[in-house]
Amino acid sequence: MEKSIYFSEEHHMLREQIARFVQEKVMPNGDLWEADGMVPRNVLKEMGDLGFFGIQYSSEYGGAEMSVLGSVVLAEELAKSTYGGFAVTALVHTDMASPHLYNAGNSDQLSEYMPDIIAGDKITAVAVTEPDAGSDVAGMKTRAVQDGDYWVLNGSKMFITNGVHGDLYFVAAKTDTSAKGSRGVTIFIVEKGTEGFSVGRKLNKMGWLSSDTAELVFEDVRIHKDYILGEVNKGFYAIMKNFQNERTVLGAQAMGEADKALELTLDYVKNRKAFGQTLWDKQAIRQRLSKLQAEVAAGKQLLYHSAWLDSLGQDCVKEVSMVKAYCGELVNRVMYECQQFHGGFGYMREAPIERMVRDARIQSIGGGATEVMLEEIAKRS
């Protein structure tokens, strides 16, 4: 397996273990999961048993205590399954939702939930996005009002990954309506089954079909003060703290998808014959694919370097924003070209590239749209 200055032998062993799991457990079953609209819980439990859900977490709770580079390995290899919905189901749990608890939770909250999260016994979701407040957290309308030792939560959330079948939700709500912009937000720990909390509807998406996505509804949901995550009115800072990890992992997922798409396409064009030659014998085709390989290699180096900076505790907001913007756009260009070279077969539902094209489209939208990322870069230029 290809070596890199950014990865240790431990990372390479992890990569091989995940690749083996993907080949044995995911590839034979992914179509069924797409049809069902979810990844079975026993599969997620097995991933927990294998240690995939605790890569960056403390050994006190069953974690491996690796840096974000370990999560990059996880994201790349899960993405190579060609089932983006499966990959993001796991990655939201490991790197977009549960880090909120790990980073901001008190000792009681960590002891109560982290072992089950790492073991895959409780699957997590983070509920920030609303119908009118996606990348604009300041536009949040969900409210929580204090009532003695409880907070009463009302509102709705939209596009929540793991929203239908999750167990534990980290829900952002405005708790100080007089605060301007993104201030005055608090995060609450809400368990499935809490009175007043329901799934409004399961959402049908263009891609990521094996990922369950939901609208969540909160109607007078009473949350005890012990289940406030972090400080009251400081939730936006907690959300911001995990943005870099989340966007790095999404960039890694994008590059894993691009890598696999090129692998599939190279195999196809080297075997597909047209006009007496393989497609690979056509200079224009092999040069276009070679250029894409170079661009993906460049994207991976940007990703790895950014993750390495993060692992050292460096300020890397600019670099991570570059990763999210560049990789999210690049994977879509790769998919467009790869589908083109598959010809009519690439338009058929039986072709992995057809699914991968649909799955990749969200990469320039979710987790921080390209336009938002470019503004983050501009602020620091």
Cα 338 from Cα 101, distance rounded (Å): 39
| H or E stretch covering 273 | strand 273-274
- Are 77 and 86 a contacting pair, CB within 8 Å? no
Catalytic residue annotation = 246
Residue showing tokens 């840096």: 67
With CA atoms as reference, report the closest residue to 79 among 69, 89, 68, 70. 89
Q: Could you tell me whether strands 213-224 and 150-161 are parallel, antiparallel, or unpaired per DSSP bridges? A: antiparallel
**Rounded to 10 degrees, what is the CA torsion of 105, 106, 107, 113?**
-30
Radius of gyration, CA atoms only, the chain: 21
- CA 223, 224, 225, 230 dihedral sign is negative
Cα 191 from Cα 211, distance rounded (Å): 20
